[in-house]
Amino acid sequence: MSTTKHVAVVGATGAVGVEMLRCLEQRGFPVGEITLLASARSAGKKMKFRGSDVTIKELKADSFKGVDIALFSAGGGISRDFAKHAVDAGAVVVDNSSAFRMDDKCPLVVPEINADDVKKHNGIIANPNCTTAISLMALYPLHQAFGVKRIFASSYQAVSGTGAQAIEELAHQARKWADLKREWDAAKLDHPPQVYPHQIAFNVIPHVDSFLDSGYTKEEMKMENEGRKIMHHPGFRASVTCVRVPVFRAHSVAISAEFEKPVTVEAAREVLGRAPGLDVIDEPEHKKYPVPLDIAGRDNCAVGRIRKDCAMDNGLAFWVVGDQLLKGAALNAVQIAECL
């Protein structure tokens, strides 16, 4: 078997696709050949990889000849339509959409947690939801030590989770407000937003993904459903409120967790300090705790504000932050490819 791999990136021009290329390059992944795939309107354009120009090709059913690993980040519809063609051509698909996450035949993997599940694939491996992956980086080590029963959580999700157009919408609205030289109490702009149902600049929107009959959104239920699968913990329960905030590219999550065993702050810090891919930044007396501006661009997630939860038995409250485009998407996908 060749020591180098022919890698295809589907959705190469998107925010996550760009980060996938960067991760492949920075981590020294053994790419022998790279194929960049996108929509017809992007075909013919060029992107840089390892200092060379690579021409983008239009995604088609026959695009995967000779490909070993196909990293998909172009939305669930594209994954459902084209992943099977990649598998039929002999590639292993690592899919960043929600298309296959809850498919019993597809492993759902965070390598620091359940890397062995990669071995069970039948051609497709799913990348988890970004908020779930970032949260579990801190929650799973605690679960191993103390046995998590349930969590209550609120997310503070960056616009990068919606894609490049949302990043530009936030930037455009901020520039527009600055140009108008508005006062702070007149921050609402006159022109309608395009990506979100409400203006995102200087605002928070408690609405990520579509609403279910239960009143929760699909995004909110992913924490429970995907968490159960990744942690192999069918009894795990999660009540989550997901909120979009005017931050460019790192998600934050406030978590209150209840455990089977008694837990102390000191024991939790010791466990979290040993966890792979996680930094502990927890010195509130010195105003040190993770914030998205500091964590953006970092591979590791970070946890802080660790304290006893005063409303639950065996409870712990903490705050975890991770780069949505990296551990929440591109980096995790490339780590799965490394497992392969």
Query: What CATH number is given to the structural domain containing 270?
Result: 3.30.360.10
Say whether both 194 and 214 belong to one domain: yes
Give residue 202's domain range: 132-324
Residues 6+ apart with CB under 8 A from 28: none
Q: Which amino acid is at 26?
A: Q
Three-state SS at 131 = helix
Q: Does residue 85 carry a catalytic annotation? A: no
Three-state SS at 109 = coil
Cβ contact 47:13 at 8 Å: yes
What pLDDT does 181 receive? 78
Q: What are 53-62's pLDDT values in tens digits?
A: 999 999 999 9
The DSSP symbol for 98 reads S
Q: Which amino acid is at 155?
A: S
What pLDDT does 185 receive? 78
Count of structural domains within the chain: 2
Cβ contact 336:111 at 8 Å: yes
Catalytic residue among 6, 121, 143, 251: 251
Cβ contact 99:73 at 8 Å: no
What pLDDT does 227 receive? 98
Give the pTM: 0.95
What pLDDT does 261 receive? 97
Say whether both 53 and 144 belong to one domain: no
Element counts in the chain: helices (H) and strands (E): 9, 14
Output phi, psi for 23, to 5 deg.
-65, -45
Say whether both 304 and 155 belong to one domain: yes
Say whether both 216 and 189 belong to one domain: yes
What pLDDT does 1 receive? 45
Q: Name the one residue in this structure whose structure tokens are 């959104």.
A: 217
What pLDDT does 100 receive? 97
Say whether both 56 and 105 belong to one domain: yes
Say whether both 224 and 314 belong to one domain: yes
Three-state SS at 259 = strand
What pLDDT does 321 receive? 98
Strands (E), the chain: 5-10, 31-38, 46-49, 52-55, 57-58, 69-72, 92-95, 124-126, 148-157, 237-244, 250-259, 278-280, 301-308, 315-323
Say whether both 48 and 66 belong to one domain: yes
Q: Does residue 106 carry a catalytic annotation? A: no
Say whether both 19 and 156 belong to one domain: no
Output phi, psi for 77, to 5 deg.
-60, -45
Say whether both 114 and 197 belong to one domain: no
Say whether both 137 and 124 belong to one domain: no
Query: CA-CA distance, 205 to 118, in Å (whole number)?
Result: 36
The tokens for 228 are 């159960």
Element (H, E) at 294: helix 292-295
Three-state SS at 81 = helix
Residues 6+ apart with CB under 8 A from 289: 281, 282, 283, 304, 305, 319
Say whether both 82 and 144 belong to one domain: no
- The list of the chain residues with pLDDT below 70 reads 1-2
Catalytic residue among 130, 143, 242, 301: 130
Say whether both 146 and 195 belong to one domain: yes
Residues 6+ apart with CB under 8 A from 174: 201, 246
Element (H, E) at 220: helix 218-231
